[in-house]
Amino acid sequence: MVAVISKPDTQRKLEILSTDAQYDLACACGTNENDRRRRGREDKWIYPVTLPNGGRSVLFKTLISNVCTNDCKYCPLRADRDVRRCTLSEEETVETFLDYFNRREVFGLFLTSGVLGTADATMERLNRVARILRYKRGFRGYIHLKIIPGAGAAAVEEAVSLSTAVSLNIETPGAGHLARLSSRKRFIEDIVEPIKLISRLTGRGNRYERVKQTTQFVVGAAGETDSEIVRYMWGLYDRLHLKRIYFSAYQKGLGDAPMDGHEGRSADDAFTREHRLYQVDFLMRKYGFTGSDICFDRSGNLSPDVDPKEHWALLHPEFYPLDVNKASRYELLRVPGLGEITVNRILEQRRACRIGGIEALGRPSLRLQKACGYLRFR
C-alpha cells in the first residue's frame, strides 16, 4: 500500500503556523481578560493591541515558517523536534492578512518566523512581506515585525523603517543563562547589540522615533531568579527606553530546558511567577518604581503570596500612614489598594474640599479597605 502525503494548501499552512505563533507573546500581555490572546475564525490566533487613541483592536499573527535551524531547549519548534514543517510564501501571507483586514476583522499584522537557513535570509522574507504591503498594496496600518537574533544591522534598520513596532526577544537575563538554552545564539552579538541598535534608531529625535520596541523573557527555563530578570528589565526601560516587556512562563513538557531549581513547580506556580513579573513591569512603567524598589525573598524570587507593591509597603513601615490630603501623586501610588484611577480621583477631590474618610474615595471594596490601613485622613 502506498501512502500519499499531500502538500498542505494555504489554509492548512495557516492553521499550523498561526497556532505555532502562540509561543511569542511580544504583542499581548495576558494579564487580564481584554489582553489575553484567543483563537479566531478558522483556528487562527488573534491577539489584542492597544490603539494610539487608547482603544483596543486585534492583530492577525502568524509565522512565515516553523522551520528553524536553532536549538533553543525551551522551544517546541526547535530543529530536532518532529513537527510538521511548512512555510508561507510572501504572497500567501499578504493576501491572507489583507483578506482579514479588508473585512475589518483585524487592525494590523504581527509577523514572526522560525530561522529559515540564516538570520539574514529569514529577515529578508519578513521585510519582503512588509515591503509588498507598504509599497505595492498601499497599506499604511499597523505592522509588528519580529527581529531575528543575529540579523545584520542593514536588515534590522530596514525592518524598523517598515514597521509600527518591532521586537527582539531577549529570552534570558544574561549570557550564562542563554548558553544553557542554546548553543547557537550569542547573547551580546545576536541579541543585546541589535536591541541597542533599535533603541538608537527609535530614540527621541531620531528618524524612526514613532516605532515602538518590545521584548520578551522566557521565565523559568534556565534556572534564573526573578531578581536577575528584574535587573535586566530596569536596564531595558531606564537605559534603552523599551516600550514594553513581556513574559512567557516556560511549561515543562514543551521543551527540554534545564529549569534548575524549578523542576518541582507546577504549571500554576509558573503562571503565578509570570503574573508577578507583569505586576513588577506595571509598577515600573506606571507607578514610578525602579529596579531597586522591588523586594525579593532570600532565594532572589518574588513572593508568590504577596504582590510586589504590598511587599514594598510591608518592608517600609516608616513611609506610612500618608496624609491623604497632602501626599503627592508619587506617594499615593505607593499605597497598596490604590490605583491610578483612585489616585487621580483623590487629587481632583481635594482641590475642591478636604477628604474626610475612606467613603469619599468610592464604593466600599477590599482594595479600599486595604488602602485605609496605609492612609491618614485627619
Write down all domains in the chain, each with its CATH number in brackets. Answer: 10-259 (3.20.20.70), 316-376 (1.10.150)
Whether residue 309 contacts residue 287, with contact meaning beta carbons closer than 8 Å, is answered with yes
* CA 289 to centroid of chain Cα atoms: 19
Phi, psi of 88, rounded to the nearest 5 degrees: -90, 145
Over residues 28-35, mean pLDDT = 44
Element (H, E) at 237: helix 226-238
Mean pLDDT across the stretch 280-301?
A: 96
Residue 123 dihedral angles phi and psi, to the nearest 5°: -60, -35
**Residue found under cell 492597544:** 50
Residues 6+ apart with CB under 8 A from 135: none
**Averaged pLDDT, 40-67:** 61
Look over the chain and give the mean of its residue pLDDT values, rounded to a whole number: 86
Cα separation, 61 vs 57, in Å, equals: 13
CA of 67: how far to CAs of 16, 82, 260, in Å? 12, 11, 28
**pLDDT band of 52, cuts 50, 70, 90:** very low
Q: Which of 38-52, 65-79, 130-144, 349-363 has the highest mean pLDDT?
A: 130-144
Point out the least confidently predicted range of 31-40, 178-187, 243-252, 313-322. 31-40
The pLDDT > 90 percentage for the chain reads: 64
Contact present, 59 and 47 (Cβ < 8 Å): yes
Tell whether the model's pLDDT for residue 80 goes beyond 90: no
Cis peptide before 321 (omega within 30 of 0): yes
Q: Which residues contact 250 (CB under 8 A, 6 or more apart)?
A: 74, 218, 219, 220, 221, 257, 259, 270
Is 287 a residue whose pLDDT tops 90?
yes
Mean pLDDT value across residues 325-330: 96
* Closest residue by Cα to residue 170 from 95, 234, 252, 88: 234
Q: Which residues are paired to 215 by β-bridges?
A: 245
74 pLDDT band, cuts 50/70/90, is confident
Is the pLDDT at 6 greater than 60? The verdict is: no
Which are the contacts of 20, defined by CB distance < 8 A and separation ≥ 6? 63, 66, 76, 77, 83
Q: How far apart are CA 97 and CA 106, in angstroms?
A: 9
Mean local confidence (pLDDT), 166-192: 96
Cα-to-chain-centroid distance, residue 23: 11
Q: Is 240 helix (H, G, I), strand (E, B) or coil?
A: coil
What value, to the nearest 5°, has the Cα angle with vertex 25 and ends 266 and 40? 100
Q: Which residues contact 123 (CB under 8 A, 6 or more apart)?
A: 147, 148, 151, 152, 155, 156, 159
Mean local confidence (pLDDT), 317-327: 96
Distance CA 265, CA 252 (A): 9
Instruction: State mean pLDDT over 35-44.
Output: 44
Nearest to 222 by CA among 75, 5, 52: 75
Q: At what angle do helices 226-238 and 267-286 cross, to 10 degrees?
A: 30
Q: List, as one string, the DSSP characters of 62-125.
A: EESB-------TT-TTSTTS-----B--HHHHHHHHHHHHHTTS-SEEEEE----SSHHHHHHH
Count helices and strands (H / E) in the chain: 12, 10
With cut-offs at 50, 70 and 90, classify the pLDDT of residue 266: low
Higher per-residue confidence, 125 vs 268: 125
